[in-house]
Chains A and B, each alone.
Chain A
Amino acid sequence: MALYDMSPEIIMDSLPLTEPVLLILLSLAAQPRHGYSILKDVEQMSDGRVLLSTGTLYGALRRLLDEDWIERIEEQDSSRGRQAYRLTTRGRRNLQVEIRRMKQLTRLANLRIAGKQA
């Protein structure tokens, strides 16, 4: 499905996403996580290339919460000031839109590169 086939409410003006935000969303796509776990997962996914600071992480989380891409869930160990986050349905759909856009771009890039080499 092309991007323009999607419902207008899904196509946010936040697309395309920055790499840190994309990695945060991918981190939450697998399972709910709390802040420290997100930071470590982002670092691991990017092979240590993307190191987020606490301020950057919570700035991104605030925006994602405000735009209803993610939601807070109660964690059992809340005594340590921890809160877990998970993707909302809207967030998951928007993430899929972004991944589809990236796939199209990659496909186009491959075609162009292959065409030049041929």
Chain B
Amino acid sequence: MRALSLYRHLLRLYPAAHRDRFGEEMVSVFGEMRAEAARMGIGAQLGFYVRETAGLMMGALEEHRRAWGGGAIWLLFRTLFFSTLLFPTRRVTMHSEFRFPKTTAVLMTIILAGVVLAIKKGETISSSHVNPPIGPLPPTHSVLLGGIFLTLAFFYAAGLIGWAILFAMRRSGVHRLAETTSK
């Protein structure tokens, strides 16, 4: 039930139009797949969650790209936060040449896991926090702005680190090994 609820929350990553159109179906199918994976053991469950997380995040990105028309805003977003290694500039169609590198899926899964853990940790801290005695109110605006800035800085740093890893891998020519074996 908790996984279903979390999946339902994560669907908010999709544009509203896609969510309205397919949201309930996706939750229903996710529930059926999860029940089946649970019957097959822990390994199958782990593979299922990794696959679903990666699929959901990539699907959400693709739907946003499509919603933005793949134009200047998307280009700016991509340039700011990701490298061209992760998102090739070619138009995304059903052509076979469009493939996300496997490293992208791993990286996105790690980032998502970090976000979920941070949310859980935040909830734990807030629930254990005792109400402070009444006194002068803290400067909420500066705290809020500082928090937003820190969050953005964290994600930007995570993106840069990911980009640096992928760039180093690409420079080393590791990706060519995969190309050789798949052809």
Contacts and interface: CB of A to CB of B under 8 A. Distances in A.
Interface of A: 13-19, 21, 34-36, 39, 51-63, 80-83
A86 B94 CA distance: 19
A17 B94 contact: yes
Interface in B8-30: 18, 21-22, 24-30
Contacts of A58: 18, 22, 25-26, 59
Interface string B120-131: 000000000000
9 contacts: A15-B94, A34-B25, A39-B33, A53-B55, A54-B52, A54-B55, A55-B55, A56-B58, A62-B22
A49 to B, nearest CB: 13
B180 interface: no
Question: In this complex, which of B22, B52, B96 has the most chain A Cβ atoms within 10 angstroms of its Cβ?
Answer: B22
B94 A55 contact: no
B163 to A, nearest CB: 23
Contacts, number: 78
Nearest to B62: A59
A54 B94 contact: no
A101 to B, nearest CB: 12
Interface size class of B (residues with CB under 8 A): 20 to 34
Interface of B: 18, 21-22, 24-30, 32-33, 47, 51-52, 54-60, 62-63, 93-96, 98
Given A52-B55, A53-B52, A54-B55, 20 more contacts: A14-B93, A14-B94, A15-B94, A17-B96, A18-B95, A18-B98, A34-B29, A35-B28, A36-B33, A39-B29, A53-B51, A54-B30, A54-B52, A55-B52, A56-B58, A58-B59, A59-B62, A60-B94, A62-B21, A83-B25
Contacts of B60: 55
- The DSSP consensus for interface residues of chain B is helix
Question: In this complex, which of A35, A57, A59, A62 has the most chain B Cβ atoms within 10 angstroms of its Cβ?
Answer: A59
A84 to B, nearest CB: 10
Contacts of A82: 25, 28
A81 B4 CA distance: 14
Question: In this complex, which of A14, A21, A62 has the most chain B Cβ atoms within 10 angstroms of its Cβ?
Answer: A62
Question: In this complex, which of B54, B56, B60 has the most chain A Cβ atoms within 10 angstroms of its Cβ?
Answer: B56
A112 B63 CA distance: 41
A18 B29 contact: no
A88 to B, nearest CB: 16
A53 B95 CA distance: 19
A5 B27 CA distance: 43
B62 A35 contact: no
A14 B54 contact: no
